[in-house]
Every structure is written in C-alpha cells, then in structure tokens.
C-alpha cells in the first residue's frame, strides 16, 4: 500500500491526466453493468424511478431470454449482425494495412502527411454528416447518379432504398470512414521495426516486395493480431449511429439490414420493453466476450501474443 502511495505521489501529474478517462470508463462502461439485472426481472421504472424499479422488480429469471430465442426475429437479427460485420471484417480490416504499407513507401514526407491527414479526416466526421453526403450522391437528384453512373449503365438511384444494395453501402461507408484512422496504428508498428533489418535484406539482394513480405509484415504482426482480436469482438456489435442514419425506420430494409443493436433501441426506447431489451443486449455482450476470449486463445495457440 505504501509503495502504491509513493508511486502516486511520484507520478501524480500522469495519474491526474489519467483520471478523467478512468472516470468516463467507470461511468459509461462499468457502472451500467449493474443494470443488467433488469434482464432477469420485469423492470417497471414508472412511479418508482430507475433504482426503485430495479429493487422492486418482479424476478422472472431467464424468461426474457427464452422469449427472444423463440421470437421470429432471433435468427434474422443474429444472421444480419454476423454477416454484415463479417463483410466489414473481410473488406475493411486488410485495407488499412495495405494503405499503411503504401503510405510508408512514399519518399516525400510532405505528400505522406497530406495524404494521411486527408484519409484520416472522415474518422472525425459524424455518421449524420457521412449519411448526408451519401444521400446527396446516391439519390435521384445527386450528381453521381444523374451525371456519371448512368453513362456507364449503372442505376444507383435506389442503392439506399433497396435491400439488395444496402449492405454493400454499409460496408463501403465503413471502409471509407475508418481506413485512414486505422492505418495510424500500422504506421506506428512499421516505425518500430529495426531499419538494420531492411539494410541487411537489401545487401542480400531482396527487392522491396520481399522486404515487405518477410520483414515489414512480420514486424506488424503483433499490431495486426491485436486489431484483429478487437474486430472479432465487435463482430456481434454494430455502430448504431451508422444503422440509424442509413437504415433508420425503413422497415422494408429490415430483412437484410436490421441488427441486434437497432432492435434493442426500438424495443427499449420506442416499445418501452426495458427488461426484454436488456436481455437481448446482454446476450449480445456475452457472445462478444466469448468470441474475443476464443480468438485470443487461438492466437496464443498459434504462437502470437494475445490481448491478455
């Protein structure tokens, strides 16, 4: 205990900078875990408040989970969530790696900084603005639909209102918004590789492609594994802001684009079935935890460093 107190006194400014982030993590990530008890009871906050509703709620055990598993929406929600996020993982995950390698190959630092800044900028734009841009381009009055695509025989006016094209739009918009920011992690991993390895490879006659394959990619492997494990954990999750803005309340798109996160929102905020929604979201969280732990174990069995 005394050792910990001495460490806090010695690094008080560093701990002070950590404190706001820890408070946010505690308030918005750990404290809400206590609310999962609602998934096992009939939560009625009206007239009692949140705490009173939890204390006096009728205990129903696993009834809400059984209702969800037996509902006609279960298979559709699970399939849509897993398939859409799997598409995102397949197409979005390698793109930042390739972009980081290509960006590292640029010899002019000024060009590299400009390209990296432009590519990272979409990460800081909200999904509301991104959706506005997409709607402006891919509607009947958009310049892309009116002036460009029809000339090559493509009708894109219904891309945002068709169940056959909404999933590709979700995947493409995710790629565009995240690849620049994701590349920063891999660029940092590249800078940590010993430059003498590249010099030795050049002396041995290795061309640039072989240097990338045999030195750069293995050097990036720890960062790639960590990011892959994180993405696997999110394969059951969904960026609700993206789905609420691109899909919204278009019921005709629910067959292909309705996911667990949006179903939880509609059930809780609109249907006021708080306990049932809590049970659905707890199921999603448990599946995500199992997937992360399982992927971490597989990574360690393959000789890679995991998260833990």
pLDDT for position 137: 76
* Paired strand residues for 41: 59
Mean per-residue pLDDT for 143-152?
64
241 closest CA partner among 147, 127, 148: 127
Mean per-residue pLDDT for 220-234?
85
Q: How confident is the model at residue 136 (pLDDT cuts 50, 70, 90)?
A: confident
pLDDT for position 100: 92
Q: DSSP labels for 41-91?
A: EE---TTTHHHHHHHHPEE-TTHHHHHHHHSTTHHHHHHHHHHHHHHHHHH
Q: How confident is the model at residue 222 (pLDDT cuts 50, 70, 90)?
A: confident
Mean per-residue pLDDT for 281-293?
89
pLDDT at 177 over 70: yes
* Owner of token pair 């999933």: 167
pLDDT for position 11: 85
pLDDT, tens only, 190-211: 988 888 888 888 888 888 888 8
pLDDT for position 225: 86
Q: Which helix (H) or strand (E) holds 226?
A: helix 217-233
292 closest CA partner among 218, 222, 211, 235: 235
Q: Is 301 exposed, middle or buried (0-12, 13-18, 19+ CB in 10 A)?
A: exposed
pLDDT at 250 over 80: yes
Q: What percent of the chain has pLDDT over 70?
A: 89
Q: 202 by DSSP, 3-state: which? A: helix
Q: Which helix (H) or strand (E) holds 41?
A: strand 41-42
pLDDT for position 274: 87
pLDDT for position 283: 93
Tokens standing for residue 303: 């000789």
How far is the C-alpha of 47 from the C-alpha of 195, rounded, in Å?
67
If you ran DSSP here, which 8-state letter would residue 149 be given?
G
Say if CB 40 and CB 276 are below 8 A apart: no
Q: How confident is the model at residue 141 (pLDDT cuts 50, 70, 90)?
A: low
pLDDT for position 138: 73
239 closest CA partner among 32, 135, 24, 88: 88
pLDDT for position 229: 83
Say if CB 82 and CB 235 are below 8 A apart: yes
Tell which wins on pLDDT, 179 or 135: 179
Mean per-residue pLDDT for 127-147?
75
By 3-state DSSP, what share of the chain in percent is helix, strand and coil, each rounded to 5? 75, 0, 20
| Long-range contacts of residues 195-202, Cβ cutoff 8 Å, at least 24 apart | none
Q: How confident is the model at residue 300 (pLDDT cuts 50, 70, 90)?
A: confident
pLDDT for position 306: 63
Domain segments of the chain as ranges: 72-301
* Owner of token pair 């708080």: 274
pLDDT for position 154: 64
Mean per-residue pLDDT for 5-28?
88
Q: How many CA atoms lie within 13 A of 91 on its CB side?
A: 17
Mean per-residue pLDDT for 250-268?
89
Tokens standing for residue 189: 């991993």
Say if CB 283 and CB 73 are below 8 A apart: no
How far is the C-alpha of 119 from the C-alpha of 140, rounded, in Å?
28
Radius of gyration of the chain (CA): 24
Q: What is the mean pLDDT of the chain?
A: 85
pLDDT for position 96: 93
pLDDT for position 203: 87
Query: In Å, how far from its chain's centre is CA 161?
Result: 24
pLDDT for position 272: 85
pLDDT for position 67: 94
pLDDT at 126 over 80: yes
pLDDT at 93 over 70: yes
Tell which wins on pLDDT, 240 or 298: 240
pLDDT for position 194: 87
How far is the C-alpha of 49 from the C-alpha of 60, rounded, in Å?
20
Say if CB 276 and CB 67 are below 8 A apart: yes
CATH architecture of 72-301: Orthogonal Bundle (1.10)
Query: In Å, how far from its chain's centre is CA 15?
Result: 28
pLDDT for position 156: 61
How far is the C-alpha of 186 from the C-alpha of 223, rounded, in Å?
7
């Amino acid at each position: 205990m005394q050792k910990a107190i001495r460490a806090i006194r010695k690094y008080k400014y560093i701990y002070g900078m950590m404190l706001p982030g820890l408070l946010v993590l505690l308030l918005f990530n750990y404290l809400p875990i206590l609310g999962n008890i609602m998934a096992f009871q009939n939560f009625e906050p009206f007239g009692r408040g949140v705490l009173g509703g939890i204390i006096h709620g009728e205990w129903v055990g696993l009834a809400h989970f059984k209702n969800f598993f037996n509902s006609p929406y279960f298979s559709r929600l699970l399939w849509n969530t897993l398939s859409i996020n799997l598409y995102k993982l397949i197409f979005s995950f390698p793109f930042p790696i390739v972009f980081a390698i290509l960006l590292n190959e640029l010899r002019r630092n000024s060009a590299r900084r400009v390209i990296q800044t432009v590519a990272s900028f979409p990460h800081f734009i909200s999904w509301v603005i991104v959706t506005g841009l997409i709607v402006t381009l891919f509607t009947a009055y958009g310049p892309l639909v009116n002036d460009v695509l029809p000339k090559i025989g493509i009708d894109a006016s219904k891309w945002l209102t068709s169940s056959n094209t909404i999933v590709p739009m979700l995947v493409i918009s995710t790629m565009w918004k995240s690849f620049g920011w994701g590349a920063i992690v891999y660029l940092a991993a590249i800078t940590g590789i010993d430059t003498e390895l590249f010099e030795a490879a050049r002396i041995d006659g290795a061309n640039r492609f072989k240097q990338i394959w045999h030195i750069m990619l293995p050097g990036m492997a720890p960062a790639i594994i960590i990011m892959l494990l994180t993405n696997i954990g999110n394969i059951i999750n969904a960026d609700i802001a993206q789905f609420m803005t691109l899909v919204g309340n278009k019921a005709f798109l629910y067959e292909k684009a309705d996911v667990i996160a949006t179903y939880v929102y509609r059930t809780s905020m609109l249907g006021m079935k708080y306990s049932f929604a809590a049970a659905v979201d707890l199921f999603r969280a448990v599946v995500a935890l199992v997937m992360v732990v399982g992927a971490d174990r597989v990574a360690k069995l393959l000789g890679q460093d995991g998260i833990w």
